[in-house]
């Protein structure tokens, strides 16, 4: 089995620990990871989708077209990339006029969107392609000492009509992955709330983005979580960097480690914090050390 790893922007250029852990985990399960040469920003759904939908979908179609030429399906580690690429596929495959319009644009750069590639979220690859049983078999250090607050992020689940990951109000996929590696899964207030980064809000209204982040982190800390686990690079970045920003701006005192799902798996499979790239986080992960 092989996947073309669509990196996007935040994963490789802000949170490369996620890239490292993901490449290692996929390799451990015998999944070949291919680079998408010449891939660009997905482009961000709530940002470029808000600026100009035609540009957004045409650039997305180019990214997908490169993977199509590789005869490979795409895997992503960011809900933003996931939303852009899967929404683009849905819209292009269901609207002939739009597909023609986009392909007329792509023709000028010798590309063509055919609609043959699928995009899969890393959580789907782990759940469906790898499976809970195989993940469970790899666990060397069950993470019973860690209480995890699960954060799905919005675009993995919504719009649920298109994502087909079950209920967006009571999702289970990521919770199951956390439980399979033995971690304690704690429920918390506003579990389904957004991290605050999307829709151009982080770049355009940082105060508002931080209001979200503060509310979320406080709820997790109140539920006695030792860390937050995300399946999205942008949520990961927002929680990790957001806590530092809150610290600087309002003397915020919480230091909740932020862990990507493949990093959590890596820890359970016996890798160290450094080996899964958690040491490069902005918010300290020291508190996790004696709990693993």
Query: Which residues lie near other proteins (CB under 8 A)?
Result: 7, 9-10, 12-14, 16-17, 19-20, 23, 35-41, 43-55, 57-59, 62, 91, 95, 98, 101, 105-106, 108-109, 111, 154-155, 158-160, 168-169, 192-194, 196-201, 203-205, 208-209, 211-212, 215, 277, 280
Structure tokens that stand for 284 in this block: 């300290």
Task: Tell me the closest approach of the beta carbon of residue 130 to other proteins, in angstroms.
Answer: 22
Cα gap 168→186, rounded to integer Å: 18
Nearer to other proteins, 142 or 167 (CB): 167
Nearer to other proteins, 180 or 276 (CB): 276
Please, which residue, 70 or 139, has the CB nearer to other proteins? Answer: 70
Q: 159 preceded by cis ω (within 30°)?
A: yes
List CB contacts of 169: < 8 A, sequence separation 6 or more: 192
Identify which of residues 9 and 183 has a Cβ nearer to other proteins in the complex: 9
Calpha distance 239→246 (Å, rounded):
10
Q: What DSSP element (H or E) covers 185?
A: strand 184-186
> Nearest CA to 229 among 204, 195, 280, 263?
263
Residue 144 CB, nearest approach to other proteins (Å)? 28
Identify the residue whose tokens are 């899969």: 120
Minimum distance, C-beta of residue 111 to other proteins, in the bound complex (Å): 7
Q: Which residue, 38 or 251, has its beta carbon nearer to other proteins?
A: 38
């Amino acid at each position: 089995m092989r996947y073309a790893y669509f990196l996007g922007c935040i994963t490789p250029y802000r949170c490369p620990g996620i890239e490292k852990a993901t490449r290692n985990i996929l390799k451990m399960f015998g999944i070949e990871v291919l680079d998408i040469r010449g891939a660009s920003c997905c482009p961000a759904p709530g940002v470029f989708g808000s600026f100009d939908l035609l540009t957004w979908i045409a650039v997305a179609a180019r990214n997908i077209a490169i993977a199509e030429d590789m005869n490979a399906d795409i895997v992503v580690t960011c809900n933003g990339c996931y939303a852009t690429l899967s929404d683009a596929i849905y819209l292009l495959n269901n609207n002939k006029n739009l597909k023609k319009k986009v392909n007329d644009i792509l023709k000028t750069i010798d590309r063509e969107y055919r609609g043959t590639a699928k995009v899969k979220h890393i959580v789907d690859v782990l759940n469906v392609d790898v499976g809970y049983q195989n993940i469970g078999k790899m666990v060397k250090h069950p993470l019973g000492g860690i209480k995890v607050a699960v954060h799905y992020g919005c675009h993995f689940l919504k719009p649920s009509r298109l994502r087909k990951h079950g209920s967006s109000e009571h999702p289970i996929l990521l919770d199951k992955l956390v439980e399979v590696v033995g971690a304690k899964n704690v429920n918390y207030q506003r579990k389904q709330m957004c991290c605050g980064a999307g829709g151009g809000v982080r770049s355009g209204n940082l105060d508002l983005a931080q209001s979200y982040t503060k509310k979320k982190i406080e709820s997790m800390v109140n539920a006695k979580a030792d860390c937050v686990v995300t399946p999205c690079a942008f949520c990961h970045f927002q929680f990790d960097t957001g806590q530092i920003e809150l610290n600087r701006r309002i003397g915020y005192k919480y230091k909740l480690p932020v862990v990507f799902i493949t990093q959590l798996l890596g820890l359970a499979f016996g890798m160290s914090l450094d080996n899964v790239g958690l040491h490069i986080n902005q918010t300290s992960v020291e508190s996790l050390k004696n709990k693993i």
